[in-house]
Amino acid sequence: MLEKVSRQTVLSSIEIRSSVELPSTRMSLTLRTSDGLDLVAELAMPVNKTPVATLIMLHPLPTAGGFMDSHIYRKASNRLPALADLAILRFNTRGTTSPHGTSQGSFDGGVSERFDVEAAVAYALENNLPNIWLVGWSFGTELALKYGPDQKVLGAILLSPPLHRTSVEELERWNFVDKKLVALIPEHDDYLKPQEAAVRFLVIKDIELINVEDAKHLWVGETATKRVLDEIVRVTNPARYPLPEFYTA
C-alpha cells in the first residue's frame, strides 16, 4: 500500500562521504505479510529512470539494534539509486522499530520472518521491479540463506554471515537452484572469520567468498562502506563498477 510518494533532492557536484544523500525518488510503503502483519518499508528509486536491478535489504538482528536504517543500508539507499541505477527496498522485519516506524508482530528468531521476506519479494514482483536480489547483513544473511532458494530472485549477497541459524541442509539447497551467491567476510568478524567461513561454506558448490582485509562485522567507516557498496554494484550492475568518489547532478 502506497502511503507517501516522491521526494527528490537536487545536488551539485559533491564528494561522496558519510551521510551524503544523492537524488532519488522515495516512497514510504506498508508491506502486508501472508500471516496478516503490516511491515514498515521504503523504496528508493532512480529519478526519471527505470532501475537496472532491485535490492531487497534484510537487516541485522533487531534484538541487537539492527533495523532497516542500519548504516550500510541507509547509505545504499542514499547513494545507489543515483550512482548505479538500483532500486533499494528496505523494511523492518516483524516487531522491529527504526526511525521509519515499527512493524507489527514480534521477533521470531528467523522463523516467521520467512513471511516478511516473501512479502518484500511479492511487492517487488507485483510492481514489476526488475532483476531482484536479496542483500542480507548478519541476521539478514540467515533469512537470505534460509528462504532465498524459494524466492523469484537472481541470488543473494551476504554481508558478515554469522551462520548461527542456518543449517547445513539449508545451505545445501543452494546447490539445486540457479541463483548466484556472494559473501563478504570481514577479516576481523566477531562471529565468522575468513578461514572458518571457507570451511563452513564448502557445502555450497558455487559461492563467491570475498575476504575483506581490516574490516569488521559492522563495516564501520567510509572505507568499509565503499567496499561493501562497490561489491554490491559489481554483482548487480557491473557497468557502474567501481563507484565514483564524486557525484555531479
Give how far Cα 85 sits from Cα of 38, 82, 241, Å: 28, 6, 12
Mean pLDDT over residues 70-92, rounded? 98
User: Domain map of the chain by residue range?
Assistant: 2-247
Residue whose grid cell is 516473501: 118
Q: What is the pLDDT of residue 6?
A: 41
Poorest-pLDDT segment among 6-15, 40-49, 225-234 = 6-15
DSSP designation for 201: G
Q: What is the pLDDT of residue 84?
A: 98
Q: What is the pLDDT of residue 11?
A: 43
Which has the closest alpha carbon to 87: 13, 161, 151, 29? Answer: 29
Cis before 186 (ω within 30):
no
Poorest-pLDDT segment among 9-23, 114-128, 140-154, 221-235 = 9-23
Burial environment of residue 9 by CB neighbours within 10 A (0 to 12, 13 to 18, 19 or more): middle
Whether 160 has a pLDDT exceeding 50, the answer reads yes
Whether 167 has a pLDDT exceeding 70, the answer reads yes
Q: What is the pLDDT of residue 10?
A: 47
What dotted CATH number matches 2-247? 3.40.50.1820
Is the dihedral angle over the CA atoms 164, 194, 183, 224 positive or is it negative? positive
